[in-house]
């Protein structure tokens, strides 16, 4: 089933020059990027994104980190896009992330783990709405779609 999901290349990736590598991995996997932009996350966007963590002791640190430098927000489509992206990026705790995943190859921190990806279709819809309008999401067919999906 074709799904739409949300991903964010976090400040640590942008500052380390890893954004191109990460985007390339997404595309090489056969997923379709239908929206992409570099932004400075606002306080309101950060609070909406991390609302589920509001009462946790690390909430302020999360918000501060995500607002510390530019991020790249990405809308992605593909067959089982949510689960495919989660496998592509690896475990949240980078020390446990498998080699070959984004986190397994480039990160060694649980808090600065390079990339976010939605963990469900419902959360993807919510997270996409924080950063994209429907008009910003493109409709097109990849030329290799019949070979990768």
Q: Just list the catalytic residues.
A: 116
CA within 13 Å, CB half, 65: 19
| Per-residue burial over 2-14, b = 16 or more CB atoms within 10 Å of its CB, e = otherwise | ebbbbbbbbbbbb
The token duo for 14 is: 């942008």
Strands (E), 10-145: 32-39, 71-79, 115-117
């Amino acid at each position: 089933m074709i799904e739409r999901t949300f991903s964010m290349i976090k400040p640590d990736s942008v500052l380390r020059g890893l954004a191109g590598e990460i985007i390339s991995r997404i595309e090489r996997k056969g997923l379709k990027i239908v929206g992409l932009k570099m932004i400075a996350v606002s306080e309101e966007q950060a609070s909406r994104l991390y609302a589920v963590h509001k009462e946790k002791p690390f909430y302020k640190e999360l918000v501060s980190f995500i607002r510390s430098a530019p991020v790249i927000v990405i809308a992605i489509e593909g067959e089982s896009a949510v689960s495919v992206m989660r496998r592509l990026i690896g475990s949240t705790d980078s020390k446990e992330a498998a080699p070959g995943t984004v986190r397994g190859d480039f990160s060694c921190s649980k808090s600065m783990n390079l990339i976010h990806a939605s963990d469900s279709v419902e959360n993807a819809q919510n997270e996409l709405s924080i950063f994209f309008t429907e008009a910003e999401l493109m409709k097109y067919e990849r030329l290799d779609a019949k070979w990768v999906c």
